[in-house]
Structure 1
Amino acid sequence: MLAAPINPSDINQVEGVYPIKKKPQEYVDADSGEKLMGYIGGNEGVAQVVKIDSAIKDEIKVGDWVAPRYPGSLGTWSEYAYADVEDLVRIRPAETNEIDNKSESSTIASAKTAKMITPEDLSTVKVNGSTAYRMLSDFMQAKKDGKQEDQYVIQNGANGSAGQYVIQIAKELGLKTINVVRDRENFEETKAQLCKLGADIVIKDSELVAGNKSPSDTYLQVLALSKKGLIKLGINCVGGGIKNKTGSIEMAKMLANKSYYVTYGAMSKLPLVIPASFLIFKDIRFVGFWVSQWYVEQPVPKWQEMWQDLGRMIAENKLKPQPMNPIAWPTVSTTANTSSSPQTENTKQSIMGILFPTSVDGTKKTTAKNYFKFY
């Protein structure tokens, strides 16, 4: 693996509350030799092919950069992994000069942009970047065509990874953004960072909740846009809240009639309570979006068309992934014969990964062995 992020959905999977379940496999403890059932965490990342079975005839070659085809098909929090070729998607060939008109459509990078993109750039594109891209592309009522007034997207969780992608992709599409963030001591610093990415308006959650009772200048600015019917899309990663005191429903109040309100997360873990008037009188379409399901339903060429566009934006410096705090794998001296280790004819290498033990039937264990450990 070249790079693999830690996504909130990965943590949900470890907790046993995520819809996608990994299939447990047998592993061997590198220290004790004890056999354990478990799975390697992580669903997203970029890997480089180091060996291919000689019997496999496929466009994927040694040295290519690849990504898991489907969430759950490969544990990315590991140093090495075995994978069926059907579970991988090539995102960049080993030699970028191999990209031609025939093969370019099967990669995330074109011949012009491939050398400008790093594994870190690509490691979050398949989930957060693609989530932002699809919500803006699939649910925006109408796009700016130069003849209309500016059109706005309003979103919460704007300082998160997906939120930052929304800001930048919206700008590329000619849309403006209203960005809601939770109250914090460093609000002005956060606001400046988001504006640097292209945010047009940044407002505190508390300002949106207070509304006309104690209107701030920023709230009045948003309200004026709402009255003109210019806010065409709502994007919600927070979910709901106690008495809706999270600004989630206040965002919906700002939407123009017949707009979409898309929920793709529920960080508050509280239900979203929707007033009937929004459905009856404003005809706001409340929908959910889960990019994992989108990948299942859409053909691979459509994925790659989207990835090509995201790759172009990254290469043109129009799309900057969220700053990362890289964590290197620790060095281990133990050589273990594990069932998942890459093997050559004469040697067996140790493999490092974060293993989450399970019972034989795949359910989460609650014993003392439910811990992080490297193998």
Structure 2
Amino acid sequence: MLKILRQFRSGSATACRSHQQRLLSTATTVAGSGPPTTFCLTTQSPGSRRTTLLLRAMAASTTVSDMTTAVSKPRALIYDKPGEPLATLALRGLPALRECGPGEVQLRFLQSPINPSDVNTIQGKYPIQPPLPGAVPGHEGVAEVLAVGPEVSGLSAGDWVVPLTPAQGTWRSAGTFSAAHWHKVPREIGLEAASTLIINPPTALAMLENFVELKQGDTVAQNGASSAVGEAVIQIARAKGLRTINIIRERPNMEATVARLRDLGADLVTTEEQLKDDLKASGLPSPLLGLNCVGGSAAQAVTRILQDGGTLVTYGGMSMQPVTAPTAAMIFKDISFRGFWLTGRWSQAQGLTGRAASLDRIVQMYLSGSLRPPAVKAFALGRWKEAFAALEAPHRGHKVVLAPSTADGEDVA
């Protein structure tokens, strides 16, 4: 190891991809000859910016051998035409990573969630569609920077980054991307928080701030409260001094689910059937803001308890049932019905700067302890069919994520 460090400090090493691969091969041999370790190799060529390549051999899903494979033999889940994921996706090898050009970064993906928007994209139902054939799905995830090209500032090898724009294709082990579309996040927030950072928490934050002017003590009602967005709503609302009415479906582990949501800060957790009686018994005021991700009768349940002039915001439709606007609610209570689409209208209005600022606010919530990440279940890329099977589990209580650069035989649960 000391010999390798001396070679890199001599100034003769370059940051080209072939040299990185030789480094990784040597480092893998050294790391494999003794106990797991963490070490940092720094390269410096005459007249160039210093580049640091951090190799973390002791991390469960970030071994040196995984990094070597991710760089030399990258692969991805790919589809050529719209369809159901199990029928249309295939795990394929990709060309070896090319060197970074101006403004580019080379990334290795650590965790990439499977979100409903990803499934809808593959099915051809989502408004944002990648070019076909040869599309790589994945709107969300966290990656580690392997190398940076000229004209890139603020990022260096070893940093963690998340996408600022959708459809980057995160279901791959590694790739080269425009640095402008990636945002640095601190490792201190942890892998689960970083990998699930860009969709659910910003959705919760934006819905609590962009539709109704809420003050401390006001109440927000939501269905789908045990979802990742629902849990984020509960926690962010609590931090703002807001109270929450949370509607969930009946389930075998009902008591445990209620206890978990109460621990996150929920004021009332109930079912659609018990909502009226439980709300009356709670003494909570009628909500000004209602959040709907289910549709059908669950959306009507939230609408019915809104106070005069309240607003129902729909951001999902898990039941596949339409949202019906009751005539009486519109005429006599002046209820407004709005929609929210994070990766579309909101992201376009915010721009890269606004999106980055929103993520930074959420990162601070994680660092302060006012927000906790959702539980995740990770699957190596070669076990992607198992991951999709896990999505079908009722009331699973965790997000399903891919660990694209983890060896297929490694347990990443």
- Relative to the length of structure 2, the TM-score reads 0.63
Aligned to 2:203: 131
Q: Which protein has the bigger strand share?
A: 2
Aligned to 2:218: 151
CA distance in 2, matches of 1:318, 1:175: 14
Which structure ranks higher in relative contact order (CA pairs < 8 Å, sequence separation ≥ 6)?
1
Q: Which of 140, 151, 162 is the matching residue for 1:44?
A: 140
Aligned to 1:171: 238
Q: Which protein has the bigger helix share?
A: 2
Q: 1:331-342 residue pairs with structure 2 within 5 A?
A: none
CA distance in 1, matches of 2:197, 2:208: 15
CA distance in 1, matches of 2:309, 2:315: 19
Equivalent AA in structure 1 for residue 281 of structure 2: Q
Deviation sequence 1:311-332 (CA, Å, 0-9, x none): 111112211111111223459x
Q: Which of 224, 234, 238 is the matching residue for 2:290?
A: 234
Is residue 67 from structure 1 mapped to residue 180 from structure 2 by the alignment?
Answer: no
Q: 1:1-375 residue pairs with structure 2 within 5 A?
A: 1-24=109-132, 37-54=133-150, 56-72=151-167, 74-86=168-180, 88-92=181-185, 114=186, 116-144=188-216, 150-208=217-275, 211=276, 216=277, 218-221=278-281, 225-226=284-285, 230-240=286-296, 246-293=297-344, 294-330=346-382
The answer to whether the 8 A contact 1:151-1:175 is kept is: yes
Equivalent AA in structure 2 for residue 204 of structure 1: T
CA distance in 1, matches of 2:182, 2:330: 40
CA distance 1:45–1:115, shift in 2 (3 Å): closer
Aligned to 1:104: none
The answer to whether the 8 A contact 1:181-1:203 is kept is: yes
Equivalent AA in structure 2 for residue 91 of structure 1: K
The answer to whether the 8 A contact 2:113-2:195 is kept is: yes
CA distance in 1, matches of 2:152, 2:142: 22
CA distance in 2, matches of 1:76, 1:57: 21
Unaligned runs of 5+ in 2: 1-108, 384-403, 406-413
CA distance in 2, matches of 1:298, 1:269: 29
> Could you tell me how far 1:49 is from its partner in structure 2?
1.7
Equivalent AA in structure 2 for residue 126 of structure 1: I
> Could you tell me how far 1:219 is from its partner in structure 2?
4.1
Aligned to 2:105: none
Percent of pairs with identical residues = 36
Q: Which runs of 4+ in 1 moved over 4 A?
A: none
